[in-house]
Amino acid sequence: MEDEQTNRTKSASEDSFYIKELKQGNIKAFEFLFNKYYKDLVYFCNVFLKDQENSEDLVQDIFARLWENREHLDIKGALKSYLMTAVKNNSLEELKHQNVIRVYQDYAIAHNDPFDYDVENYILYSELNQQLQKELNKLPKEMREVFEMHRFKNKKYHEIANELNVSVSARDSNLFYPTLDSFLMVESNNSVVAGNNIIELDSTTETGSANYLYGIDIYKLNNISIWNNTVKMNTNGGSIIVNGSGSAYPVQITGPINDCNIYNNTLITYNNGPNLGIYSQNFYGATYLNIYNNFINVTGSAALHNWALVSGMELQDTCDIVHDNIIYVTNNGAYADSNNIYGISYSQSTSSSHSFDVYNNTIFTNGNYAVYLNGVSNTNVTNNGLSAYIKTGNDAVYIAGSNNNINGNYNPNPTSNSDVLNLSILKANFRNEIISESENSEKIVYVAVNKNITADGGNGSIENC
């Protein structure tokens, strides 16, 4: 009984943290809560509706509204109770709606005239329909299409996803944004991901529209080596409007993960929104990474808001060793001191303690800092070649926290920064290389290919795809 109470308290505290993150627009917090409660809520809903697909749709609608109204959430008490109450109320409303339809159908059949409408009801229906259409016209085009297909054409979400050519995961987690995950591995210990050539080229998403692209996506495992892979991503998608949205991440790591080695990879990515070469974080548990000898080139659009981040690596980990990497990072927009653009960063705070050992890397960026680590301890940034927009060497490092050391960092090229690196030309060259290679190469994991591996406690090896 005491353990059960402890687990409840821990879960409530955990929910409180993720609700706070959700209100700030953290899509990962939303994914965590969705994955935690979705199955239980569908099961609970099915007790009322006795219809699995309708139950899934109803629960998905509730989570969609949770995201849409995230900034105004005011949840009193436990989140699970709040969600279950919403499911119960919506289920009862759905049953009432179904009952009205059945009663009307019985009436129409009995009177042999399905078009015998009452005049006042017809007028009311007409007015409500006009108001509904007015409100629908205010929605973004993609969201309006999904709503109309679901409500008026009675299509299921997976049917809508297929028809609009967006993934089901886009509907679940990113609310109708196109989403692609080329390779996904979950809970597969003692794994190797090596020698793969992955190219994701999105020529559909327009500039300013959010989309989410992931190359190698790893969750919750121990002892993995990711080495000698080439991942290239190119899209016009992404936006810095409304705090920044979209991504094109060659490597994404989600803890808990221990003994993770990422080395000898070539990671190149281009978009018009937030973008990272490697994104790792400890949302689900402690993460320990060793990242070395990688070539990383990232282009995106950075801004003031914390989520409008462009970085070679955003490492929200427990303890990482990062060394001997070559990193180029380019902001598409105009320079501003406050823009979030870095070579190596921990800028979006997560729970637990964070420490890093960063040495012998070479970083070029047109942001204010080459290395930005906010709220860390026992961290060393030493002997790196660092060139930012103006600052170089030790001056190009920002660290906040306790017991940290900055020493021996230098300008990687003694000439002026403008002569060291023409980032706009480099950016264009890499982008053209991605497009050319996607058109001519045969050895590619194309954007239509999804690899999904779920091995509970198993072993895995994906090589030379």
Query: For residue range 280-335, what is the model confidence (pLDDT) as tens digits?
Result: 988 778 899 999 999 999 999 888 877 789 999 999 999 999 999 999 999 988 88
CA 253 to chain centre: 11
* Residue with token string 């306790």: 402
Buried b (16+ CB within 10 A) or exposed e, 282-302: bbeeebbbbbbebebbbbbbb
Residues 8-19 have pLDDT tens digits of 555 667 778 888
Question: What are the CB-based long-range contacts (under 8 Å, 24+) for 7-15?
Answer: 11/80, 12/78, 12/79, 15/78, 15/79, 15/80
pTM above 0.75, yes or no: no
Mean pLDDT of the chain: 76
DSSP-derived 3-state class of residue 418: helix
Q: What is the mean pLDDT of residues 265-285?
A: 90
Q: Which residue has the higher pLDDT, 456 or 181?
A: 181
The whole-number pLDDT of residue 269 equals 94
Instruction: List CB contacts of 448: < 8 A, sequence separation 6 or more.
Output: none
CB 30 within 8 A of CB 173: yes
Q: How confident is the model at residue 39 (pLDDT cuts 50, 70, 90)?
A: confident
CB 323 within 8 A of CB 294: no
CB 371 within 8 A of CB 340: no
DSSP-derived 3-state class of residue 78: coil
Residue 356 β-bridge partners: 320
- DSSP H or E run through 326: strand 326-331
CA 457 to chain centre: 25
Q: What letter represents residue 130's amino acid?
A: Q
How far is residue 337's CA from residue 334's CA, in Å, rounded to a whole number?
10
CA angle 322, 369, 22 (to 5 degrees): 80
Burial class (CB in 10 A: 0-12, 13-18, 19+), 103: exposed
Nearest to 286 by CA among 312, 251, 260, 313: 260
Residues 131-158 have pLDDT tens digits of 666 666 666 566 667 667 766 666 665 5
Number of CB atoms found within 10 A of residue 419's CB: 9
CA angle 365, 366, 368 (to 5 degrees): 95
Q: How confident is the model at residue 266 (pLDDT cuts 50, 70, 90)?
A: very high
Residues 386-441 have pLDDT tens digits of 999 999 999 999 999 999 999 999 999 754 443 334 444 444 454 555 444 444 44
Q: What letter represents residue 161's amino acid?
A: A
DSSP-derived 3-state class of residue 352: coil
Q: How far from 447 is each of 181, 295, 440, CA to CA, in Å?
A: 8, 22, 15
The whole-number pLDDT of residue 263 equals 95
How far is residue 170's CA from residue 212's CA, in Å, rounded to a whole number?
8
Residues 116-127 have pLDDT tens digits of 444 444 444 455
Q: Which residue has the higher pLDDT, 151 or 228?
A: 228
Is the pLDDT score of 385 beyond 60? Answer: yes
First CA to last CA distance, the chain: 50
